[in-house]
Structures are given as C-alpha cells and as structure tokens.
Chains A and B, each alone.
Chain A
Amino acid sequence: MQNLRYARQNETVGTTTETGQDGGPNTIMQAQTDVAEPAPMPGDTSNTREIAIDARKISKIYRGEDEVRALDNVSVRIRRNEFFTLLGPSGCGKTTLLRVIAGFEPPTSGQLWLNGKDISRLPPNKRPVNTVFQNYALFPHMSVANNIKFGLEMLGKPKAEINQTVEEMLTLVQMQAMKARRTSEISGGQQQRVALARALAPKPEVLLLDEPLSALDLKLRKEMQMELKRLQHETGITFIFVTHDQEEALTMSDRIAVMSAGKILQIGSPQEIYQRPAERFVANFIGESNFLDARLSGGSVTLKAGGTFPVENPANVADGDVSVLLRPEHAFLSDAEDALPARVETVVYSGEATSMHTRLEQSGEPVKLRLANAPTGSGMPEEGAQVRIGIQPGALSVLKD
C-alpha cells in the first residue's frame, strides 16, 4: 500500500520533469501567498529544475482551546544553491514552516516538493534535508566526532568514507583539535560549528537553520554570519535560514521572505525588501521608516506635506489616497525651493550619524532624518530651528496597507 502510493507519486514527478523541458529559461521564480486557486499551467515549468523546495498552499492549524493558524496557506519556492531567509517576529510561523520542511510536523493541508518530488509523506529520516537546531541539539553522550558521524552511520555509508567525511567536516568548521571532546566540554561557538558540521556531513540537498546564531554573543554572531556565508558558498547547498534579526537577514541572504501571522508578506532580495517593501508591516519590521500621506496618480504622488514626486509602486496599488515610505537616510536638509518646510523637535547624536526628529509644517506629520556626521561634528540645526527637507530621487515608495 505504502509502496504503491510512492510509486504513483514518482510517476507524477516523472511527468512534471518531462514537461519541464520546454519553457523559457529566464522565468522568475516567485512565491506568493494567499491567492485564489492558481491556474495549472503544465507547459511552463523549466524552472522546476532550479527549484529545491516548492511548498504549495501549506497550512498548519493547531487545534486546542483556541485554534491557531501557524501557517496560513503558504506557498514558496526556494531555488537551489540559494541562501534563503525566513524573517519575522516570534510566532509568525517561520519556525513552523521550517519544521514542516524538515518533516517534524505534518501540515494540516498542502504539499511539499523537494527537487521535483513530493516529500509531504516522508518521515524526517527519509528526507535529504538536515537541520541546525536552535540550541544545537548535540548528543551529550557522544564526542564531537561521533556527533558528526551519526548521520553518515545512519545512512549506512562505508567506514572509510565516513571517516574521510568526518575529517573533511572537522576541517571545514575548524574543529579538528576538538574531535574527541564531549559536546558539553566545548564553548557555545564551538557547539555551533559542530552542529553545522553534523548537519552538513550527510551532504543534504537543503540545510535548515533554526535561529542558530541567537545564543551567541554579538561578536561571535558576526563572525558566524560570515562563516555561514562561506560554508554555503563552498558547499553549494541550499540554506534556509530562520531569524527574527532583520540585520542578520539583510547581511546574509540571497532572498528574504518576510512572514507575519502565518503568512508570507513579501519575498525578494535584501535590496528589494529594504528599499521597496510592499506593506507597512514589512517596512516597519525592517529598518526605520517614515510614513507620509499622499495621493497617488499615475506614476507620481502628491504629498499632503506638499510637493509632487515620482514614486515606485511595487505592490501595484491603485490610484487614490495612499501611504508612502521614506527611509530616514533618504531625506536630507536642503536649501532648495521645493524642499518641505519643517521644524526640528529633537536631535540625537549616535556616533556615525545624527537622528533628527522633525515635524512637517504643512501636514503636521513627523519625519525622522538620519544624517551622516561630518568629521568636524558641527553644523547641525538646534532644536526648534526651521529647516527644509529634501527627498532623494527614487526614495519614495507606495505601501499596500
């Protein structure tokens, strides 16, 4: 019965890869959430060859006293050899999605494909996917080397190969000297490396990382961020990285999916996510933001505070009253006639920059500016001063509310 079911699945897989031959090579893989039933288009699937994880309409509902939708109809495609980050506040569903991919949680509905195969029904030990756990989950009764060896032994690899791979992994994470130690006898950063080596040793198709850096102190965390980038580059394995730290996400990722309340709000490169956030939540969660009321018409907005500017509209918001985003570092003090008059409220010095809180004269909206400090460290307006605020070209972006 079981075998039959898998056989049938393999058939379907076969056809999809076949049909995958004839499509344009440049189709952009996109993910999306919460749309109406997608129209199946059997013709165009060339990109499936480049997709590692294809999560389709996955929901995870915890039934208890109150029903919790940890994942709400989430669809996402993650490319091979990509450093993909799931970013969101705690409880947004990012870890649940990771656990569904690893196989620890069966989804309530939806399917999960890996490299063109439906793996929804496979238990975790049959999935070529490894996890670096949040608290590492190193086996306390085994040495460092035996931890790394574990997955290879379970796969029944020949002894010589196992030993060779373990040595390679120890070298890769620079832990050769520690291989005979117990995992309780090494530092947090070293445990982190062992956890990585253990998960990489079986050469998984996808590596899942569940907030692996959260237990480390700041300096070590920065080091490990670089280390992870290097490892991903060297191994060519798809990394799916979960974090709530936006800076970490921006630094490390090829693409980021921002999640909230069980849904993916936006997927894009760090630049896209930061500069062209689609929604107020995304803008707010990543970086600092000013939101300005405006009227959108064609490709430009007229601010309530005055002035008309060309605008980016990533979410294709319809013309009318909208909110636009202005990042504090994209505003500057200006003498130009068309700059917006404002009054300085507070000035906060913070080393490399100065944050200036102002209020626009015409609309009464607060605007925060982030100004680079000059070496001489003077020339900033005092509190209460009248200033004019200029906006860098292309800085404004329309938000979907």
Chain B
Amino acid sequence: MAERAPFSVQTIPGFAAIAIFTFVAIYTPLVILVAFSFNAGDSLAIWEGFSLKWYYRAAANEQVQSAAIRSLYLAGISASVATVAATMAALATTRTRHFPGKTMIYALINQPLMIPEIVTAVALLIVFAWVKVATGHTSMIYLIAAHTAFCIPFAYLPIRARLETMDDTLEKAAADLYAGRWQVFRRITLPMMMPGIIAGLMLAFVISMDDVVITEFVKSAGQDTLPTYMLGQLRRVVTPEINAISTVVVFAGAFLVTIFFWVSSNRR
C-alpha cells in the first residue's frame, strides 16, 4: 500500500494546483512578450531566431526617444514634488490624537485613490481645456500638476506606514538632549523615516510612469509619454518593437518594485 502523506491542517485539496496554475498563467504572457522582443522576424508568435534588432529600432525611433524622455521627466518631477508634499502630510496626520480637520485632510489626500481614473481624467480635461483656451499656455505643467496630484496618495501610504511604526520616544529623547524642533527632525525623524520616503518615491515614480488614462486626456498635441505612445501604436500593425519597449518598461518597473520591497522590508 502506498504511503499516505501525513495529515496537514493547512492543506485544502486542489488549492495548491489552482495556485500553481495561477502563477504560471500570470507569468506566461509576460515571458512570451519578453521572448518575442528578441525575435529576428516580424512575427509575435513564430520564432525566427535571436536578434536585438527591435531594441536598436526602438532606440533609434525619435518618437520613442522623446516619449521616453518625457515620461522620465514627468515622473521625476511629479514623484519628487508628490513625495515632499506627502512626507509633510504624513508627519501631520500620524502619531496624534484626533484633531479638528484630521478626517478631512485624510479623506482629501486619499481622494485620488477613491475615484476612477477616467472620472478624474474627464474633470481635468474640462478644466484644463478651459485654462488652455483662456491662457494659450500648453506646456507640460498641466501633466505635471495632474500627475503630482494622483501620486500624492501613493507616496503618502508607505511614508505614513513607516511613521506609524516609529516610536516617538526617540524624538522625545532627542528633545530631552537639547535638540530643537528642526534638529530633532533633521537628526532623528528624517533618517528614521527615510526607508518610507524612498519607498514612497519609488511607488509614486512607478505610478506616474505607468499612467495612461489621465495622461491621454490631459496631454496637449505632441506630448505623448511612453504609455500613450504605445497605446497609439496598437491601432497599427504591431511589430516586436512594442515588445522591446514593453520589456524595458517591465524590467525598469520590476527593478523599482524590488528596491521598494527591499527598502520597506528592511526595517531595523
């Protein structure tokens, strides 16, 4: 008679099989997408040999170049501004008892998370269309403003989480040792909350880099970011060039997320 596995209370029949299937199903399309970015031929399904030609082609494409630079520029500025604002807001809304307006501040900061992107996009389109007509000004400032706003809650969450794990006796100890408010912040609070700030910055950067909907509605002519450029290309004949760009985007994103995980799990 075959030996039976010992009884485990944590086993539910079939769950492990479904879970493995799920992981395979999640990664297969991504792996194939990445694989065909190295295809020597034009096909997205028939392998014709290894080649980096689609990477060279994407890199040489001026539209891709300018969209990529625009995405980085936009995400860099928006995520930085959002992180500074979110850091201040997190300091203001944590480690305190209820104070007048706290719920309101908290609700407002999380508002962009609560509302479908398409709704915010439409509202911004309406307002910015009006402002653009009134002022004749069509720079990147609209995109930066919109991205900063929806990045704030994403930057805020990990910073707040970090602050809440922080014991305020360290700051009390510093004040006890004659540190003024600014010195306490500079020497104790800021270094202690740094992992949260870095995590928040990463997250905000990734969110801004990935945004399609709000960017699509807010951008003026000639202000394509990488995602909106790719969305536009999908209407045409698709070549592995899209896969090459996607692969770069996936790995850049995975890299940032890995940093995010590493930083936020590396609590002292």
Contacts and interface: CB of A to CB of B under 8 A. Distances in A.
Interface residues of B, number: 19
Nearest to A130: B176
A360 to B, nearest CB: 51
Contacts of B178: 125-126, 151, 154-155, 202
A125 B192 CA distance: 20
A150 B176 contact: no
A198 interface: yes
Given A154-B177, A184-B268, A141 B172 contact: no
A126 B178 CA distance: 6
Interface string A347-361: 000000000000000
A131 B174 contact: no
Given A139-B188, A141-B191, A184-B268, A154 B179 contact: yes
A139 B170 CA distance: 7
Contacts of A133: 169, 172-173
A338 B167 CA distance: 63
A95 B166 CA distance: 21
B172 A124 contact: yes
Given A140-B268, A150-B187, A154-B183, A125 B169 contact: no
A384 interface: no
A318 interface: no
B179 A137 contact: no
Contacts of A198: 177
A104 B180 contact: no
A135 B169 contact: yes
Contacts of B268: 140-141, 184
B175 A130 contact: no
B172 A137 contact: yes
A150 B174 contact: yes
Contact of B175 (A123, A139, A140, A202): A123
Given A139-B188, A140-B268, A141-B191, A150 B179 contact: yes
Contacts of B170: 137, 139-140
B41 to A, nearest CB: 55
Contacts of B192: 140-141
Contacts of B169: 133, 135, 137
B172 A139 contact: no
Interface string B187-223: 1100110000000000000000000000000000000
Nearest to B178: A154
B188 A124 contact: no
A129 interface: yes
Q: Which of A104, A139, A199: most chain B Cβ within 10 A?
A: A139
B172 A202 contact: no
A294 interface: no
A198 B173 CA distance: 10
A103 B184 CA distance: 15
Given A141-B192, A154-B183, A124 B175 contact: yes
Interface in B29-82: none
Interface in A116-144: 123-126, 129-131, 133, 135, 137-141
A104 B172 contact: yes
A214 B169 CA distance: 17
Contacts of B176: 102-104, 124-125, 129-131, 151, 199
Interface in A196-241: 198-199, 202
A322 to B, nearest CB: 45
Given A140-B268, A141-B192, A150-B187, A202 B173 contact: no
A103 B173 CA distance: 11
Contacts of A130: 176-177
Contacts of A139: 170, 173-174, 188
Contacts of A104: 172, 175-176
Contacts of A184: 268
Given A104-B175, A125-B179, 8 more contacts: A102-B176, A104-B176, A129-B176, A131-B172, A140-B192, A141-B192, A151-B177, A154-B179
26 contacts: A102-B172, A103-B175, A104-B172, A124-B172, A124-B176, A125-B177, A125-B178, A125-B180, A125-B184, A126-B178, A129-B176, A130-B177, A131-B176, A135-B169, A137-B167, A137-B169, A137-B170, A137-B172, A140-B268, A141-B192, A151-B177, A154-B177, A154-B180, A154-B183, A184-B268, A199-B177
Interface of B: 167, 169-170, 172-180, 183-184, 187-188, 191-192, 268
Interface of A: 102-104, 123-126, 129-131, 133, 135, 137-141, 150-151, 154-155, 184, 198-199, 202
Going nearest first, the 3 A-B pairs with the smallest beta carbon separation are: A151-B177, A137-B173, A154-B178
